[in-house]
Amino acid sequence: MLPLSPSTVLSSSLDTKDAESAKTIGSPESLSPDEVARDCDSHLPFEIPGAMVLSNPSISVIRQAADDIYRQINSDISYSNQFIIVSNLSQPLQELLGRDRDRNPLEVSYRLTLDTRYQQALIRIIPSKAHERVTQSFLNELILKLFEMGIRPRDYTMNAASRYHGKSCDKEADQSLTPSGNPPDDDDWPSLVLETGLSESEAQLRADAYWWFSNSDYKVNMVILFHIQRSPERRVILKLYNLRSANPRVTRGLQAEVGRTLLSDLALSQIVQTVSPTVLRPHLVAKEIIVTFGNVENAPLELEFESLMRRPPAPNTSEGNIIFTAEDLALCCRYAFPIP
């Protein structure tokens, strides 16, 4: 894991004695390709602009930082940071942060990416219940559409904030779906992952999408990102990243293409472009839909049945690709817009 390089102390309500543990990220560092690759593997970034950085904090310091971010996000639409990066995280705190969320140690909703090897964590604060309801509403609509095809809840599991074990760190999604049929396994990867965040967090959300594809060895077939923009106009930007083949041949060319599509960092782009392409390879398909109050651009959204359920549609049934119409998407995203 790359060392974090905080530069300026963040002005907040943290106690003075803890001020040295709370800082914001400064200017980018110069990284070698090998360093960037290691950082990409571990997923925890050396820089997220505006993120709060805590070093060797107590749970009270992390809780206060989470509360500060939550209050600022919900009182000031110009404030956009959702992230706390924690270094030198003690073993007891690692266990506490990853416990059952019914005993939420931070007292606000969050998602956790945890690197136990380097004792670091990335905490994403969920701005409000409305943001969680966007992904939950989408998931509810998906369940209904599957039911109408004859697909019952026994045929899949909904994983909510379940933690998945990657190559060097653990991560939680906002929501995910895993089709049944495989033997139960703690590392039974979902086929579909949903992530929601503020539009200013797009780069990190794309890094999250890359993590799901690469760390699952491309067992994750689809990732949908919901970017909620609050200013100058309220809107939700949906981005679907879908492996065109439900059972992709995992080639270096596929890995390179996924990296090029999802990672904007120049050094990372240089790395994936140096990988030799393979002639026969599946592609990563990207689709963007913009939902505003009263309008939906670029609908419908189509999810491939085989990618979702990891099997072809059964013949002589109503099984097939799942279609979200403009009306469906408007209803799913309604919680992101203030009541007029």
Q: For residues 222 and 241, give the distance between their C-alpha atoms in angstroms, rounded to a whole number.
A: 6
**Domain limits, the chain:** 6-125, 129-336
For 15-24, 103-112, 282-291, which range has the lowest pLDDT when averaged over its residues?
15-24
Q: Residues 88-131: pLDDT tens digits? A: 999 999 989 987 566 789 999 999 999 988 899 999 999 887 78
* The pLDDT of residue 231: 84
* The pLDDT of residue 184: 53
Q: How many residues does the chain have?
A: 340
| Pairing status of strand 175-179 against strand 156-158 | antiparallel
Mean pLDDT of 11-18: 39
* The pLDDT of residue 183: 54
Q: How far is CA 75 from the centre of its chain?
A: 24
The CATH label, of 3.20.20, 3.90.1570, 3.40.50, 3.30.300, for the domain at 129-336 is 3.90.1570
How distant, in Å, are the alpha carbons of 172, 245, 304 from that of 301?
24, 17, 10
53 or 99, greater pLDDT: 53
4 pLDDT higher than 70: no
Q: For residues 151 and 161, give the distance between their C-alpha atoms in angstroms, rounded to a whole number.
A: 23
31 pLDDT higher than 70: no
